[in-house]
Amino acid sequence: MSILINNNTRLLVQGITGRDGSFHTRQMLDYGTNVVAGVTPGKGGMEVEGVPVFNSLSEAVKKTEANTSVIFVPARFSSSAIYEAADAGIKLIVCISEGLPTIELVKITAYLKNKDCRLVGPNSPGLVSAGESKVGILPGHIFKKGKVGVISRSGTLTYEIVDHITRVGLGQSTCIGIGGDPIIGTKFIDCLELFADDKDTEAVVLVGEIGGRDEQDTAEYVKKYFKKPVFGFIVGKTAPPEKRMGHAGAVISGTSGTAAEKIKVFKECGIKVGDTPAEVAQLVKEML
């Protein structure tokens, strides 16, 4: 099994006619994803890689029954793209775009609470249910169908962890890049709740970063509620204090949010932590 996306996913690409949208549409199609529509205002009637393009989400959903969207539009248009997808009845919105203002995300997450949909991202590489569907920019060739769920705040470290899991002979159920911004639509705990009910996911790997308290809160949740084995990797051990490192969310304040603190809490809550991506994969293999 898998979570969030599978063989029944009917994907719509927002910004399909742009450079990134068209390139990754080809990659998603090659992986086997059922891409049923694209949307670019003013370019309805075109086709991109054989996928029909519509002027609006409402028209596209009505004609193709799309249930998932992925957003490849510039940051200044991404908020409108999220609202339009939610209003059109899309159930899962995956926002690849980065650079959305935090104040806009406050408004968006509040708005989506009254909608029957889930936002992954922004600043997300997307997600893959191995052997079934790929939504976003993750490299499909490193995935192998298996029993390990992966949830990550990092982009490239997601690929590293997945590749090592595959190399030790295991595979993945679903891998989710939740994004590294301070405010995101889907957090670690949200994903763990879904993995808890997935009978084919036997273990979960968490890839965290410096900044914020999401990892600490997640560790407490794991200790109290999550019954499957959980493994961790924290990025940013050498990051200097009081510095922003790459992502808007990667800010350390005093001792709060440091890699050392997060690793300490992980271990205290029973999460086995690897020092390298290769070590994480080996720890999972030894458990399974």
247 carries an active-site annotation: yes
Catalytic residue of the set 24, 141, 164, 247: 247
Look at residues 217, 177, 41, 181 and name the one whose alpha carbon lies nearest to residue 104: 181
Catalytic residue IDs = 247
